[in-house]
């Protein structure tokens, strides 16, 4: 059971998770518990939570406020950073506002603080280790010393990060759009922005924006916008103030949709609908994958049988070719004939054109040389005739 729980936790950090009682305000995202932001994200809000952990090369468009703050390297914060406890700032980080730390400050090199800083605890200038590497090294040292109880306590501390706000890497979260290549889960929150994710699951939320995903399950939510997807589930009195478009739409009779409902493969309205663990599209994809594997195995068997038949025919001394090879050879011949026709129309390839030009230039030169020789011969014959006429005139006299 513990192994299953660990796998679920690891998988959860690959999703965009919004915990209960999360509020998307005009400038900030307010969370009661922890915040974990992956690398390469663009956050258009400020972040307010208990523990705030931000990955490298991430941009935060507002203030960062928390009891403990850890900013990785190459981050940009466009507001103030206020930490009630200890803070860890990685190298090459830029804070456009003021840095205020009420505990200890561990700061890296080449950090830009445009409005200054204030720290009431110990200040150490060094590059902080990433969280995972620090935990790994600390755990190795505990195991080397044989302190297994302390190692178990470390895991208890790590497990205390319960239901945090998780934004996976390369995500974009701002007032206009919430975009990610991973799944989306939200419970009992107020969300602003159009949601563009892989799969969506929302429960007891109020969403001010449209939703676009593959599999969408809306459980007791209010959606102020349209919904587009492949498999759409509306249950527990969900309200949609817009259109619903998809391949397959399943909704309970106590749900309401203000605009049109378009289901290409069908619309099912029932008293009670159970959410499947796997969507119809996933089932179809699995079936297609299995069919491809079977076809590949059959093709391999046919190839092996064909090779054995060819060997037997070659030993008997007769030439044998399968229909596929004949068809491929005919294709190659057609392509070659087409290429030859195209070359004839164009007047040959570039190299042939050059050769023809060279030949023509040689012919022209030879003609010029011949013309010059003929002219010289004509001049010589004319001079001889003049001499003969002169000699004839002298003899007559």
Residue 207: name the closest of 168, 239, 237 by CA: 239
Spatial separation of the C-alpha atoms in residues 233 and 218, rounded to whole Å:
6
Strand partners, 52: 35, 69
Mean pLDDT (whole number) for 187-191? 91
Q: What is the percent of the chain where pLDDT is above 70?
A: 73
Strand partners, 66: 83
List the single range of 70-74, 261-265, 274-278 with lowest mean pLDDT: 274-278
Q: What's the token pair of residue 58? A: 């991430």
pLDDT at 5: 42
pLDDT at 255: 92
Spatial separation of the C-alpha atoms in residues 148 and 156, rounded to whole Å:
13
pLDDT at 136: 74
Asked if pLDDT for residue 81 goes beyond 90, the answer is yes
CA distances to 48, 70, 133, 229, 291 from 85, rounded to whole Å, are 14, 11, 22, 44, 57
Spatial separation of the C-alpha atoms in residues 76 and 73, rounded to whole Å:
9
Residue 182: name the closest of 11, 52, 46, 5 by CA: 11
Burial 169-206 (b: 16+ CB within 10 A, else e): bbbbbebeebbbebbbbbbbbbbbbbbbbebbbbbebb
Residue 334 falls in which region: left (phi positive, over 0), alpha (psi -120 to 50) or beta: alpha
At 365 the three-state DSSP class reads helix
Spatial separation of the C-alpha atoms in residues 185 and 18, rounded to whole Å:
6
DSSP 95: E
Spatial separation of the C-alpha atoms in residues 315 and 355, rounded to whole Å:
48
Calculate the CA 325 to chain-centre distance.
40
20 φ, ψ to 5°?
A: -60, 150
pLDDT tier at 397, thresholds 50, 70, 90: very low
- CA quadruple 336, 342, 344, 348: dihedral positive or negative? negative
Asked if pLDDT for residue 358 goes beyond 70, the answer is yes
Mean pLDDT (whole number) for 130-146? 75
Spatial separation of the C-alpha atoms in residues 78 and 94, rounded to whole Å:
8
Spatial separation of the C-alpha atoms in residues 90 and 383, rounded to whole Å:
102
Domain segments of the chain as ranges: 13-167, 183-277, 281-329
Calculate the CA 171 to chain-centre distance.
11
Asked if pLDDT for residue 80 goes beyond 90, the answer is yes
Tell which wins on pLDDT, 153 or 173. Answer: 173
Write out pLDDT tens, residues 361-389.
Answer: 878 888 878 787 777 777 777 666 666 56
Calculate the CA 64 to chain-centre distance.
28
Write out pLDDT tens, residues 83-113.
Answer: 999 999 989 999 999 999 999 999 988 899 9
Residues 6 or more apart in contact with residue 154 via CB below 8 angstroms: 135, 138, 139, 142
pLDDT at 9: 42
Asked if pLDDT for residue 264 goes beyond 70, the answer is yes
pLDDT at 10: 42
pLDDT at 206: 93
* β-strands 64-66, 81-83 pairing: parallel
Write out pLDDT tens, residues 277-335.
Answer: 644 455 556 666 666 776 666 666 555 555 555 544 444 444 445 556 666 777 778 77
pLDDT at 393: 54
pLDDT tier at 248, thresholds 50, 70, 90: very high
Asked if pLDDT for residue 1 goes beyond 50, the answer is no
Maximum Cα–Cα distance across the chain: 147
Element (H, E) at 53: strand 51-54
pLDDT tier at 240, thresholds 50, 70, 90: very high
């Amino acid at each position: 059971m513990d192994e299953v729980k660990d796998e679920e936790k690891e998988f959860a950090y690959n999703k965009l998770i919004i915990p209960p009682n999360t509020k998307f305000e005009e400038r900030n995202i307010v969370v009661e518990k922890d915040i974990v932001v992956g690398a390469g994200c663009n956050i258009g809000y400020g972040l307010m939570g208990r523990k705030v952990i931000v990955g490298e090369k991430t941009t935060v468009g507002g203030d960062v406020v928390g009891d403990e703050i850890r900013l990785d390297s190459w981050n940009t914060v466009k507001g103030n950073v206020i930490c009630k406890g200890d803070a860890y700032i990685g190298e090459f980080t830029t804070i456009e506002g003021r840095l205020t730390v009420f505990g200890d400050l561990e700061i890296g090199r080449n950090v830009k603080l445009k409005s200054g800083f204030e720290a009431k605890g110990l200040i150490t200038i060094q590059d902080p280790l990433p969280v995972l590497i620090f935990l790994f090294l600390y755990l190795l040292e505990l195991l080397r010393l044989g302190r297994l109880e302390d190692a178990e306590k470390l895991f208890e501390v790590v497990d205390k990060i319960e239901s945090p706000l998780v934004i996976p890497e390369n995500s974009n979260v701002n007032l206009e759009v919430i975009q990610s290549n991973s799944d989306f889960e939200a419970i009992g929150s107020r969300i602003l922005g159009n949601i563009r994710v892989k799969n969506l699951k929302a429960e007891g939320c109020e969403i001010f924006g449209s939703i676009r995903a593959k599999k969408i399950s809306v459980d007791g939510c209010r959606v102020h916008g349209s919904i587009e997807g492949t498999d759409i589930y509306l249950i527990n009195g969900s309200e949609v103030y817009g259109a619903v478009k998809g391949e397959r739409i399943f909704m309970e009779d106590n749900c309401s949709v203000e605009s049109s409902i378009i289901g290409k493969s069908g619309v099912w309205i029932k008293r009670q609908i159970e959410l499947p663990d796997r969507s119809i599209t996933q089932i179809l994809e699995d079936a297609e994958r299995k069919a491809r594997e079977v076809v590949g195995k059959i093709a391999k068997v046919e190839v092996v049988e064909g090779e054995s038949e060819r060997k037997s025919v070659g030993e008997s001394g007769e030439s044998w070719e399968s229909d596929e090879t004949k068809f491929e050879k005919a294709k190659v011949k057609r392509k070659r004939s087409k290429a030859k026709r195209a070359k004839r129309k164009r007047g040959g390839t570039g190299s042939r054109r050059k050769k023809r030009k060279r030949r023509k230039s040689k012919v022209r030169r030879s003609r010029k040389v011949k013309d010059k020789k003929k002219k010289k011969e004509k001049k010589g014959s004319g001079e001889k005739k003049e001499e003969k006429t002169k000699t004839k005139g002298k003899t007559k006299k």
